[in-house]
Amino acid sequence: MANRIEWLDETHFDHQSHEWGEWMGTYNGSGYDEIDQANIDFAVKTVDLIVEKWGQHPAVYAIEPVNEPWIHSDIPTLKSFYRTVRENIRQVAPHL
């Protein structure tokens, strides 16, 4: 997940020079110094709000909470995030 971009000129940008996994916490090159639970909670709440607003819309078939998780993601944290989001979605829109 790229949460910062750098504009190179009026029509081109770069996001790969920034740490992709930093939404999860502070990555030091070999692991996480800390997990940013407040940011993960924000991501869960964001998905909750999307599902509350659009979960019953006939055009919505599925929700993808994280597109292409970063290779260095903390796996237990990522699994916990996915499980929480999945359970929350099932409570509001079990068909998704």
How confident is the model over 1-58, as pLDDT tens digits?
455 677 888 888 776 655 555 778 888 888 899 999 999 999 999 999 999 999 999 9
Of the listed ranges 49-53, 61-65, 89-93, the one predicted with least confidence: 61-65
* Spatial separation of the C-alpha atoms in residues 39 and 60, rounded to whole Å: 25
pLDDT of 1 reads 45
Q: Give CA torsion, residues 55, 94, 73, 80, to 10 deg.
A: 130
Does the structure show a pLDDT above 60 at 72? yes
Higher per-residue pLDDT: 6 or 76: 76
pLDDT of 52 reads 96
Query: With helix as H, strand as E and coil as C, how does 12-78 read?
Result: CEECCCCCHHHHCEEECCCCEEEECHHHHHHHHHHHHHHHHHHCCCCCCCCCCCCCCCCCCCCHHHH
pLDDT of 26 reads 84
pLDDT of 17 reads 52
